[in-house]
Amino acid sequence: MFGAVPSDTAILRRPDLRERALLRDRLSALGSDPRLEPLLKKYGVRYVYFGSRTYWPYIPGWNLPELLRNPRLRQVFHRGSAYVFEILPPSAPAAGPGSSR
């Protein structure tokens, strides 16, 4: 969903980049911010990567404990400082015993 930051300021005003930035910046509010769900579907976002190494120059301000506690995110991979979370549908039950959370 993200890579190198465009250098052309006209590109930065594009609605799709503003929407993607909203997803990036509000990810911890998944489940409580109604703006996110339609954007997840629109862009086909199903997984989230969290780690100490991301695309330069942007490093998300995500809080790992918040991501781990979010019932809409299920940890599917963890090694060192790298985590991958699957985004669960709104109707998915909270993680229970035996889950990878």
Residue 45 lies in a domain: yes
* Boundaries of domain holding 79: 9-87
CB-hemisphere CA count at 13 Å for 96? Answer: 2
Choose the weakest-confidence range: 3-17, 32-46, 70-84, 85-99: 3-17
Residue 63 lies in a domain: yes
pLDDT digits 0-9 by tens, 17-73: 889 888 888 988 999 999 999 999 999 999 999 887 665 555 566 888 999 999 999
Q: What one-character-per-residue DSSP string does 30-64 give?
A: TTT-TTHHHHHHHHT--EEEE-S--SSS------H
Residue 71 token pair: 């019932």
Residue 97 token pair: 């015993």
Which of the four pLDDT bands, split at 50, 70 and 90, describes residue 93?
A: low
Which of the four pLDDT bands, split at 50, 70 and 90, describes residue 81?
A: confident
pLDDT recorded at residue 97 = 45
Residue 43 lies in a domain: yes
Total domain count, the chain = 1
Residue 100 lies in a domain: no
Residue 21 lies in a domain: yes
Residue 94 lies in a domain: no
pLDDT recorded at residue 85 = 96
Which of the four pLDDT bands, split at 50, 70 and 90, describes residue 87?
A: very high
